[in-house]
């Protein structure tokens, strides 16, 4: 069983700030992490390998710095981690990214046929949740989003059964392989990689694949292949702070009375028949 995990290196959102003038993200000096949902996708792939054997290949598209994210995946125990990097890929939107990743999965399949592709349900920086489904569509794979549990794989019949986390409950679904899953964080808890894996990761140099190597239509890649036009990025309007009634420590009775007055004026408490 060969799983390919699509991951994205994202800025650690706990550290991101907005430029108040331009409204864009200030990314300089912000540490990068593997998109947290993708780590759960990787864990699911590793768990499947533990159970059914096979291999796990990780892929990401990005600048050379993304090698750090790939090493992280090796430290959890992935067999191989590939970096798709080329000037031709720069500026890709979700449409173009899914095209490039599809080319890469096809290329990987030439060596080791792919049974399953996994990705996080979405990336925490863009939140689009479009790339996984885009890759499934282009590959012609069955698409199972919001997977919270893999019930099992039937290697003979080439079938997979999963639970999907939906708003109204869970859906248990069986489909044929190859398939693509997007995974939610409730699916599993991340393992603590073994020491041999961690030591391998430190020295691991991810192979870099460029456009010429994976092939494909140049007009569908990078800026040229990206019809999405970002008009404006802006932070949501800040909410006005709530009113703080002072003096609670010194004269709690007066402060409480003032609070009741204000609430009464808004009709939040009291009204007809309320005690004086």
Partner 1 sequence: MSGNERFDCIVVGAGPAGTAAALTLARAGVKVVLFERGEFPGAKNVMGGVLYSKTLNKLVPGFWKEAPLERPVIEQNLWMLSSDSVAKVGYRSPRFVPGHAAEGGVPDEGPANAFTVLRAKFDRWFAQKAVDAGALLITETAVEDLLWENGKVVGVQTGRDDGKVYADAVIVTAGLHALNSLIPKMADGRLGIKPEHVALAVKQIIALPKEKIEDRFNLPAGMGATIELVGASTSGLTGISFIYTNADSISIGAGAMLSDYVKSGKHPYDVIEDFKAHPAIKPLIAGGEVKEYLGHLIPEGGYNAVPKLYGDGFMVAGDSAMLVNSVHREGSNLAMESGRLAAETFIKAKERKDYSARSFAAYRDALDKSFVLKDLRKYRGIQHYLDSHPQIFLSYPEMVSEAAFRFLNVDEAPKAEHEKMMVQAVTNRRSMMGLLSDLWAGWRATR
Contacts with partner 1, residue ranges (CB under 8 A): 192-196, 198-199, 202-203
- Smallest distance, Å, CB 191 to partner 1? 9
Cα–Cα dist 42/119, whole Å: 8
β-pairing, 169-176 vs 80-84, is unpaired
Check: CB of residue 144 under 8 Å from CB of residue 107.
Answer: no
Which of 71/121 has CB closer to partner 1?
71
Which of 194/228 has CB closer to partner 1?
194
- Smallest distance, Å, CB 43 to partner 1? 15
Query: What does the chain come to in residues?
Result: 276
- Smallest distance, Å, CB 20 to partner 1? 16
Check: CB of residue 97 under 8 Å from CB of residue 91.
Answer: no
Cα–Cα dist 109/117, whole Å: 11
- Smallest distance, Å, CB 198 to partner 1? 6
Cα–Cα dist 257/119, whole Å: 56
Cα–Cα dist 216/255, whole Å: 70
CA of 151: how far to CAs of 6, 51, 142, 173, 200, in Å? Answer: 21, 12, 16, 9, 31
Cα–Cα dist 162/153, whole Å: 9
- Smallest distance, Å, CB 200 to partner 1? 10
Q: Is the dihedral of CA 50, 52, 54, 59 positive or negative?
A: negative
Provide the 3-class DSSP secondary structure of residue 157: coil
- Smallest distance, Å, CB 236 to partner 1? 22
Which of 32/103 has CB closer to partner 1?
32
Cα–Cα dist 93/275, whole Å: 62
Helix axes 67-76, 195-203, angle to 10 degrees: 160
Which of 76/141 has CB closer to partner 1?
76
Which of 203/231 has CB closer to partner 1?
203
Residue 150, token pair as written in the block: 């893999």
- Smallest distance, Å, CB 199 to partner 1? 6
Which of 190/223 has CB closer to partner 1?
190
Which of 13/194 has CB closer to partner 1?
194
């Amino acid at each position: 069983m060969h799983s390919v995990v699509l991951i994205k290196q994202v800025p650690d959102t706990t550290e991101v700030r907005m430029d108040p003038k331009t409204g864009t993200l200030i990314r300089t000096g912000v540490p990068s992490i593997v998109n947290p949902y993708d780590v759960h996708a990787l864990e699911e792939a590793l768990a499947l390998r533990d159970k059914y054997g096979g291999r796990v290949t990780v892929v990401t598209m990005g600048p050379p710095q993304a090698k750090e994210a790939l090493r992280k995946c090796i430290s959890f125990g992935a067999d191989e981690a590939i970096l798709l990097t080329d000037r031709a890929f720069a500026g890709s939107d979700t449409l173009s990214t899914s095209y490039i990743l599809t080319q890469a999965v096809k290329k990987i399949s030439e060596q080791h046929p792919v049974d399953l592709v996994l990705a996080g349900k979405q990336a925490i920086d863009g939140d689009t949740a479009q790339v996984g489904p885009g890759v499934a569509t282009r590959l012609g794979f069955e698409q199972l989003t919001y997977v919270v549990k893999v019930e099992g794989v039937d290697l003979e019949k080439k079938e997979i059964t999963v639970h999907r986390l939906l708003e109204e409950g869970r859906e248990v679904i069986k489909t044929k392989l190859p398939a693509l899953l997007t995974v939610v964080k409730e699916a599993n808890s991340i393992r603590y990689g073994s020491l041999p894996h961690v030591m391998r990761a430190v020295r691991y140099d991810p192979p870099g694949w460029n456009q010429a190597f994976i092939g494909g239509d140049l007009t569908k890649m990078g800026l040229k292949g990206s019809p999405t036009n970002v008009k404006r990025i802006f932070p949501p309007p800040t909410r006005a702070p709530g009113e703080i009634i002072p003096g609670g420590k010194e004269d709690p009775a007066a402060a409480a009375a003032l609070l009741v007055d204000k609430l009464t004026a808004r009709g939040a408490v009291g009204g007809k028949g309320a005690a004086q």
